[in-house]
Structure 1
């Protein structure tokens, strides 16, 4: 493995401590790579997320003509343009490597096949150096720069293809970045919500239109290719948590289950969930479920009809997975996710039709986020952090405890599909930053997770999320950028402390 920068090394050292993790009553280490009781939602794959996922910096690029996305009919299945019109230049913004953030070496080499002209622009440390089907350049270190490829020509008969841009120090066959694999090793479960199309709720998801690992293309109607989702969990040694799109057809469900069964090693649990937050009307899947439930006369109450329809769909999906996993049923964890702030939602799901759903699920999952209204309590981070700590205690004491009772009554595990602080205030971004960077957040997260363990029986908590910048849309990342030092990531320190890593 490649050596890490000093900042990345600090995280890797703490990760190694946490990866040793707890042992079960028999003294046997968990089968997952890290702690089997702590998981994380992986970051999306894009250039603004501050999380380089693939060693190839050109993976998942979108091609722009005059800085506008070109139509899909101009792109081949491998993600490359079919051709370039005379007088035009197509641009593709690359994903910065982790060394850009930490001040390490950023020398990148792009290689390709085909006939065409390729260069690079943007915030480079020096002018790009072209060669025969190769291009060398270095990124400016520090604040994430924008660097893009410039495709000035590409022959229709022999188009530019097999594009690969990676650090000169990276192995030529590396799929994922070393820093990402090292960072994720403490987490025993990786939830792939943001690699799926669950929240986009496409009208149709088929095996023919799914994402496949072809060239720089990573996605399809179901999100990022399953091969990459499985590949990352295998590289980390973790268990995967899949969010299956609501409209995946029966053939897709069968083929997905079989692929996961065949490629995830036996003895490693696999978590399966249908869609995401079907109770949440911010998402199309909630509206669809309600429309279908009302049409089927499942209840006179529209919201209740939506949940009953969701239960029906879960039963159908889990029947497919259960059949595929009939040879090793203990490896399959069938999840029903519900609304943390309203235990009644979980109750109507689990009690519907005489408890019919209970035989199709193994775990009830909630997202016990904690938050405060930043419009009150002053403009300073100090008192706001204290208020946030109180909110974290309250969420576990109320919402998690209520669901623990439901889980006990129905004989199911209680797990968390997401969670952590939930501060979103576009008018007070500086305050959101100050709170999330406050050293006391470490103790808040540590206490929060320990209290969750006491209520849930020490069961799984999949935090949201691994990495992400603080913006007007929230502060979701345990760290803000790849390779960030532990001293600058109090939320991550709290997670490590909660799992006995300090």
Structure 2
């Protein structure tokens, strides 16, 4: 029976007694231990990055997703999200402004500090919408807002969020704010923590928040103190994927490790130590502190837990071990069948490749079948330390950037078609079931609505998997 949206349940007791084994990844993890009995899998959502090229801005004021002001030839300019064809907006401002111009729109009405505009039909073919302000003080830019006309009353009443966005995310148990906080980019301050918590509180869901990798002890303590305003127990993560060399935080961890222990210093050991230090700072708060390592390389867990030991933290200072649950099959490999499948428009073949078989694990193929062994290894690490297993990110992760440029457009179109075909929901369903069977208790989908590009297909809103996800959250939503 669906759980009431406002119902809050106490944290479930851990299943049975847990023996604490030597730190790291044991023989049990390597072999793939027997999973916990599968229970209802709670679903969370990673909110899409706040930028002007992601469709469906969550704020009522579309300028909140806009770029920074940049000086032009006698004006200031910024980029805003793509307007729906024919959508009407109220543009208003405070501060010194001579004139506001927004190309590909028609002015319906105007006054000394406002415009009412309508997006022209040809605006549907562009990717972003520029806003230009003339006669402004470059050193003190005006405050300009742009709100859909149908939501002006709500905005003037102090509302922040688009009701369509709120309806879409309603029901998910956890909202992960990694991208909203701009965790991976120090050049972007991200959305203030207070706004993230306000949204989570309004929806009565658990916030999953990230601490930037460069944060000092004083900054971390202030961050943890601010979390006291959360209505539900927050999940707290140090940075994001500190094992991933694509991110500055991994290089930062390596530099810190070498500074502390010399050239043999291990970045995952330093990461574990920092997580332990944060967990000690959070003692008594009731927050769920989480940590993890590279999903495909669970042996790194030994170094993480070595660092935790060095910090003086204990297993009970943490709440969960985290891992991702991304599916690619062999479709992202240039030696794989994607080009042929696209040429034949073979949706069934693509779905079969993504679901795969258990034997795929021997060849390190990331199909659902191949991932079961990986999930079991991560679950075993969680059990060794008496922790829950939760998925921080997961989805079908198909990117075509490795393929020759001349075929990328065709491949993007095929994968986009695949993700909207009802048959592709079988992949999401099989993957969530495999994660739950391994012992996963929560799974945060990545992500809400990012567009399909050659670098990946992440946004689930409007895809074939969306109805499946909403059905499941209606059946399993629990806030703890």
1:91 aligns with 2:65: no
Task: Assess if the C-alpha contact under 8 Å between 2:104 and 2:120 holds in 1.
Answer: yes
Structure 1 position 234 matched with structure 2 position 201: yes
Give the aligned partner of residue 464 of structure 1.
Answer: 446
**Native 8 Å contact 1:272 1:334 kept in 2:** yes
2:353 to 361, 379, 387: 387
Q: Which residue of 2 aligns with 1:478?
A: 460
For the structure 1 residues 353 and 416, does the alpha-carbon distance in structure 2 shift closer, same or farther, using more than 3 Å as the test?
closer
Pick from 287, 291, 300: which aligns with 1:336? 291
Q: Is the 8 A contact 1:443 1:494 kept in 2?
A: no
2:408 matched to 1:451?
no
Which residue does the alignment assign to 2:300? 345
2:53 and 2:128 in contact (8 A); partners too: no
Question: Which residue does 1:270 correspond to in 2?
Answer: 234
Question: How many residues are aligned here?
Answer: 415
Indicate conservation of the 8 Å contact 1:446/1:497, yes or no. Answer: no
Contact 1:56 1:165 in 2 (8 A): yes
- What's the CA shift for 1:467? 0.8
Q: Which residue of 2 aligns with 1:182?
A: 167
The reply on whether 1:139 has 2:119 as its aligned counterpart is yes
Q: Give me the whole-angstrom Cα distance separating, in 1, the residues matched to 2:68 and 2:221.
A: 33
Q: Is 1:306–2:267 an aligned residue pair? A: yes
Q: 1:353 to 1:286 in 2, by over 3 A?
A: closer
Map 1:12-411 onto structure 2 (within 5 A).
Answer: 37-63=42-68, 69-70=70-71, 88-96=74-82, 100=84, 106-124=87-105, 126-127=106-107, 129-140=109-120, 142=124, 146-155=128-137, 161-170=142-151, 171=154, 172=156, 173-201=158-186, 220=189, 223-261=190-228, 263-265=229-231, 268-297=232-261, 300=264, 305-322=266-283, 325=285, 329=286, 332-352=287-307, 357=313, 358-374=315-331, 375=334, 376-377=336-337, 378-379=340-341, 380-390=346-356, 391-411=366-386
- Say if 2:376 and 2:438, in contact at 8 Å, map to a contact too: yes
User: What is the distance in 2 between the residues matched to 1:398 and 1:21?
Assistant: 37
* Offset at residue 92 of structure 1 (A): 1.9
Q: Summarize the Cα distance change of 1:288–1:231 in structure 2 as closer, same or farther, 3 Å threshold.
A: same
Higher relative contact order (Cα pairs below 8 Å, separated by 6+ residues): 2
TM-score of the two chains, using structure 2 as the length reference? 0.78
Q: 1:111: Cα distance to partner?
A: 1.5
Q: How much does 1:151 deviate?
A: 0.6
- Deviation per CA, 1:380-418, whole angstroms, max 9, x where unpaired? 333122101125432542111111112112111100110
Displacement of 1:353 in angstroms is: 6.8
Query: How well do the aligned residues superpose, as a CA RMSD in angstroms?
Result: 3.1
Mapped contact 2:172–2:473 kept (Cα < 8 A): no
CA distance in 2, matches of 1:234, 1:438: 35
Instruction: Point out where structure 2 has 5 or more consecutive residues left out of the alignment.
Output: 13-39, 357-365, 402-407
Question: 5+ residue gaps in structure 1?
Answer: 1-15, 28-34, 71-83, 203-218
Give the aligned partner of residue 4 of structure 1. none
Take 2:236 and 2:475, find their aligned partners in 1: how far apart are those partners?
29
Judging changes above 3 Å, is the alpha-carbon distance between structure 1 residues 336 and 128 closer, same or farther for their aligned structure 2 residues? Answer: same
Structure 1 consecutive aligned stretches of length 4 or more whose deviation exceeds 4 Å:
16-27, 141-145, 351-357, 497-502
The 2-side partners of 1:354 and 1:319 are apart by 12
Q: Deviation at 1:155? A: 4.9
For 2:182 and 2:299, the matched residues in 1 are separated by 28
Q: TM-score normalised to the size of structure 1?
A: 0.75
Within 1, Cα distance between the matches of 2:472 and 2:296?
Answer: 24
- Would the aligned equivalents of 1:94 and 1:148 in 2 still touch at CA under 8 Å? yes
Q: Which residue of 1 aligns with 2:404?
A: none
SS at match of 2:283: helix
Q: 1:298 to 1:279 in 2, by over 3 A?
A: farther
Distance 2:127 2:394 in 1: 31
